[in-house]
């Protein structure tokens, strides 16, 4: 059974041709769980009730979590605007990522396929650059599947908050064991010139002199990337304002502006903007 909530994407046509019944019951169902951050999720009904879940993700970067693979894709099982509630409950990316791992442990996808026929690099998932790659990745374990993605994109897994949460829980090793990879292994290498999101940082705490290491979280917060509206490109559609969990975006004279004081840097606005009018700005002080 397929879940259909994208009427314009061609699923309906394909399902008709193949004689597959599409599930249109997208009401919520409460699922109890034994998570570290969350004890109960409200998920779309198919995610709660289906015996087999095939998790179909895209191979792409993500300005908040570095990359969006099999594990992050499961956030799609949380219905529409409920996603914003989770951003409000878990504004720091470390806690948010731990919640995503709770969700993955709850949904437990049976099989994970990652579409890298055309991937996305740069400031994904909303404003990145599509890149033809021409392959599919697949794995029974969503964490190991994501380790493979991070290897190919060139990320250090422990620097990705979702991977770090999974590593800390002992769900996955720090690097993908070589004997886990099969198929066309010649393709399994770091992709040349892969563009990371501007927000991606390398952990520099070990490079800070020991006496001032206590200040590292504060410094990191000051240097954290932030969304910035490109006024000339903004068409005033209000989609960023509607999705913002902190309600810090206002539209005046058909131009959006952000009150950064209460912005939690979830980048939902960046993801939603239909005309790429929201940029990711890194601090001018650091370039690591």
Tell whether residue 273 is a contact of ligand SF4 (CB under 6 A): yes
Is 136 or 235 the residue whose CB approaches ligand SF4 more closely? 235
Tell whether residue 278 is a contact of ligand SF4 (CB under 6 A): yes
Distance of CA 80 to the CA centre of its chain: 15
Number of residues that bind ligand SF4 (CB under 6 A): 29
Q: What is the DSSP string of the chain?
A: -EE---TTTTHHHHHHHHTPPEE----EEEEE---SS-SEEEEEHHHHH-S--EEEEEEEEETTTEEE-HHHHGGGGS-TTHHHHHHHH--SHHHHHHHHHHHHHHH--SEEEEEEEEEEESSTTTS-EEEEEEEEEEESSHHHHHHHHHHHHT--GGGSHHHHHHHHTTSS-SS--GGG--SSGGG-SPPTTPPPPTT-----GGGS-GGGGGGHHHHHHHH--EEEE-TTT-----HHHHH-TT--EEEETTEEEE-GGG-----HHHHH-TT--EEEEPPSS---
In the bound complex, what is the minimum distance in angstroms from residue 35's beta carbon to ligand SF4? 23
Tell whether residue 275 is a contact of ligand SF4 (CB under 6 A): yes
In the bound complex, what is the minimum distance in angstroms from residue 274's beta carbon to ligand SF4? 6
Is 215 or 275 the residue whose CB approaches ligand SF4 more closely? 275
- CA-based diameter of the chain, in Å? 66
Site residues for ligand SF4, window 189-208 (CB under 6 A)? none
Is 47 or 277 the residue whose CB approaches ligand SF4 more closely? 277
Tell whether residue 235 is a contact of ligand SF4 (CB under 6 A): yes
Tell whether residue 244 is a contact of ligand SF4 (CB under 6 A): yes
Q: Measure the CA angle with vertex 9, ends 7 and 11; round to 5°.
A: 75
Tell whether residue 236 is a contact of ligand SF4 (CB under 6 A): yes
Is 123 or 146 the residue whose CB approaches ligand SF4 more closely? 123
Tell whether residue 277 is a contact of ligand SF4 (CB under 6 A): yes
Tell whether residue 229 is a contact of ligand SF4 (CB under 6 A): yes
Tell whether residue 80 is a contact of ligand SF4 (CB under 6 A): no
**From 248, 252, 279, 287, residue interacting with ligand SF4 (rule: CB under 6 A):** 248
Q: What is the DSSP string of 222-237?
A: HH--EEEE-TTT----
**From 256, 281, 285, 287, residue interacting with ligand SF4 (rule: CB under 6 A):** 256
Is 202 or 275 the residue whose CB approaches ligand SF4 more closely? 275
In the bound complex, what is the minimum distance in angstroms from residue 257's beta carbon to ligand SF4? 9
Is 3 or 127 the residue whose CB approaches ligand SF4 more closely? 127
Binding residues for ligand SF4, per CB under 6 A? 227, 229, 234-240, 244-246, 248-249, 251, 256, 258, 263-269, 272-273, 275, 277-278
């Amino acid at each position: 059974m397929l879940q259909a909530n994208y009427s314009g994407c061609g699923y309906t046509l394909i399902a008709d041709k193949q004689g597959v019944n599409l599930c249109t019951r997208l009401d919520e169902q409460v699922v109890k769980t034994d998570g570290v951050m969350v004890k109960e999720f409200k998920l779309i009904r198919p995610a709660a009730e289906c015996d087999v879940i095939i998790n179909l993700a895209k191979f792409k970067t993500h300005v908040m979590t570095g990359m969006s693979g099999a594990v992050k894709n499961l956030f799609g099982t949380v219905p529409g605007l409920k996603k914003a509630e989770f951003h409000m409950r878990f504004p720091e990316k470390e806690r948010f990522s731990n919640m995503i791992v709770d969700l993955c442990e709850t949904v437990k996808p049976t099989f994970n396929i990652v579409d890298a026929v055309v991937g996305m690099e740069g400031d994904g998932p909303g404003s990145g650059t599509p890149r033809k790659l021409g392959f599919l990745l697949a794995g029974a374990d969503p964490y190991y599947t994501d380790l493979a993605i991070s290897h190919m994109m060139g990320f250090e897994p422990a620097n990705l908050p979702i991977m770090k949460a999974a590593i800390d829980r002992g769900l996955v090793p720090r690097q993908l064991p070589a004997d886990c990879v099969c198929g066309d292994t010649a393709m399994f290498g770091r992709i040349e010139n892969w563009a990371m999101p501007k927000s991606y940082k390398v952990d520099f705490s070990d490079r800070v002199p020991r006496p001032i290491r206590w200040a590292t979280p504060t410094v990191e917060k000051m240097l954290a990337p932030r969304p910035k509206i490109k006024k000339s490109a903004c068409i005033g559609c209000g989609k960023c304002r509607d999705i913002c969990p902190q309600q810090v975006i206002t539209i005046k004279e058909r131009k959006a502006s952000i009150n950064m004081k209460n912005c939690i840097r979830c980048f939902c606005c960046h993801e939603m903007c239909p005309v790429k009018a929201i940029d990711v700005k890194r601090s001018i002080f650091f370039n690591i």
